[in-house]
């Protein structure tokens, strides 16, 4: 997979994970309706399935995914929670995305 496909797949995966965790947080912290746990569970199931779509070893997929998760979580922080990002947030996400690319795009070795 080329970098753009991997990045999009990781971004969608991160949104599924964040939604799956954010909805229970709303139920527990902001007294939102308990039925939100149903789409949360479905979203976490989608998250787990999306991780299986990567052709590399699970541990390597999780390691690379972490970089994209950081970036998507900060985008969520800004657009959903309404928190302005700092230059440190942007710098940290940039470093994480470079790390994701290094892991995801490493040359394949046979043997």
Question: Cα angle at 78 between 76 and 80, to 5 degrees?
Answer: 55
- The predicted structure's pLDDT at residue 61: 83
Q: What are the pLDDT digits (tens) for 6-42? A: 888 889 999 999 999 999 999 999 999 999 999 999 9
Closest CA to 14 of 59, 71, 52: 71
Residue 29 is assigned to a structural domain of this protein: yes
Residue 109 is assigned to a structural domain of this protein: no
Residue 81 is assigned to a structural domain of this protein: yes
What is the number of structural domains in the chain? 1
- With contact defined as beta carbons under 8 Å apart, do 10 and 100 qualify? yes
The range of the structural domain enclosing residue 50 comes to 3-104
Residue 110 is assigned to a structural domain of this protein: no
Q: What are the pLDDT digits (tens) for 57-110? A: 778 888 888 999 999 999 999 999 999 999 999 999 999 999 988 888 888 765
């Amino acid at each position: 997979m080329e970098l753009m496909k991997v990045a999009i797949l990781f971004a969608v995966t991160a949104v599924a994970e964040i939604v799956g965790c954010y909805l229970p947080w709303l139920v527990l912290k902001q007294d939102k309706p308990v039925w939100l746990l149903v789409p949360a569970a479905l979203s976490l199931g989608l998250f787990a399935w999306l991780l299986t779509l990567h052709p590399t070893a699970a541990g390597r997929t999780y390691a690379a995914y972490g970089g994209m998760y950081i970036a998507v979580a900060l985008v969520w922080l800004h657009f959903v929670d309404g928190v302005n990002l700092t230059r440190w947030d942007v710098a940290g996400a940039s470093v994480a995305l470079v790390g994701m690319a290094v892991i995801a795009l490493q040359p394949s070795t046979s043997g």
